[in-house]
Structure 1
Amino acid sequence: MILRLYQPADLDAMQRIAIAGFEQVSIDRKLQQRFGLLGETDWTDRKAFSIAEDVRGDPEGTFVAMDDDDLCGFITTWHDKQSSVGYIPNLAVASDHQGKGIGRLLIDKAISHFADLGLTVARIETLTNNSAGNHLYRSIGFEEIAQQIHFGMKINRES
């Protein structure tokens, strides 16, 4: 297993892994299930776009896990030097590579990256139903800070 810096040719594989990995823990997917297609894009399109935005925003803070020539996981980051916080917006591991410690290695890489930048706090968010993520983050040393509830409501337009 090799961790390396993101390269532009990695984006398609990262997007596929993210869509598969976030299927059960995506707020956008839950909104779409409840209210139907939002605008003209499927939740998978928005997830793919968010990954592309992450790597555009901080390619030097995006890392991929490689098993031979197979991209099997990734992590994206961004940081706020003023608050000294490093953020992890997306972490995903291909289903056939889960349970092998790849997520932990990627988080360790992100935390090392944050330390190199002189940051003092790492932040990651997940939904309560993401049991694997919740377990992993706690086992690494992340502490639960707060819980947030996401509400949605269909807007009825009257002429």
Structure 2
Amino acid sequence: MILRRYQPADLIAMQRIAIEGFAEVSIDRKMQQRFGILGETDWTVRKAFSIEQDVRRDPDGAFVAVLGNDLCGFITTWHDQQTGVGYIPNLAVASHQQGKGLGRSLIQKALDHFDSLGLTVARIETLTNNAAGNHLYRGMGFEEIAQQIHFGLKIQNDGPPDCEP
């Protein structure tokens, strides 16, 4: 397996792996399941776009795992030099390669990248129902800092409320 920096030709494979990997742990998918398609855009389109935004924001902080000719995982990062924090917005491994230490290797690659930048803290977020992610992150020494609950409310657009004089 080779870990290397992202190249533009990797984007489509990264998006495919992200959509597959986030199917059960995506806030956008959960919102769509509850409220239907939002703004005429399926959650998979938004997820694919988020990966594109990640690599556009910091192409030098995106890394892929390649086995033979198969791109089988990736991690994206960005950083805030002022606070010394490195962020990991997306990490995904193809289902046929999960459980083989690939996620751990990708995180280590990101941590080494953060270290080379002189950063002091790495930050990653996941949902509580992402058992694999929670296990992996704790196993690599990440500490739980806080939990967050995401709420949604369907807004009934029946026109403006009646105004009383």
TM-score, with normalisation over the residues of structure 2? Answer: 0.96
Deviation of the 1:157 alpha carbon: 1.1
How far, CA to CA, are the matches of 2:64 and 2:39 in structure 1?
A: 32
The SS at the match of 1:45 is helix
How far, CA to CA, are the matches of 1:82 and 1:40 in structure 2?
A: 38
Deviation of the 1:158 alpha carbon: 1.8
Deviation of the 1:133 alpha carbon: 0.2
The SS at the match of 1:142 is coil
Partner in structure 1 of residue 162 of structure 2: none
Deviation of the 1:138 alpha carbon: 0.2
Segments ≥4 residues shifted beyond 4 Å:
none
Could you list the per-position Cα deviations for residues 119-139 of structure 1 after superposition, in whole angstroms to 9, with x for gaps in the alignment?
Answer: 000000000000000000000
Partner in structure 2 of residue 124 of structure 1: 124
How far, CA to CA, are the matches of 1:47 and 1:78 in structure 2?
A: 17
How far, CA to CA, are the matches of 1:69 and 1:30 in structure 2?
A: 33
The SS at the match of 1:53 is helix
Work out the number of aligned pairs and report it: 159
Bigger Rg, structure 1 or 2: 2
Partner in structure 1 of residue 43 of structure 2: 43
The SS at the match of 1:83 is coil
Matches within 5 A, 1:49-88: 49-88=49-88
How far, CA to CA, are the matches of 1:51 and 1:59 in structure 2?
A: 11
Partner in structure 2 of residue 94 of structure 1: 94
How far, CA to CA, are the matches of 1:67 and 1:152 in structure 2?
A: 40
How far, CA to CA, are the matches of 1:158 and 1:26 in structure 2?
A: 30
The SS at the match of 1:92 is strand
In structure 2, what residue type is equivalent to 1:33? Q
TM-score, with normalisation over the residues of structure 1? Answer: 0.99
User: Does 2:6 correspond to 1:6?
Assistant: yes
Deviation of the 1:40 alpha carbon: 1.3
How far, CA to CA, are the matches of 1:14 and 1:156 in structure 2?
A: 37
Deviation of the 1:75 alpha carbon: 0.1
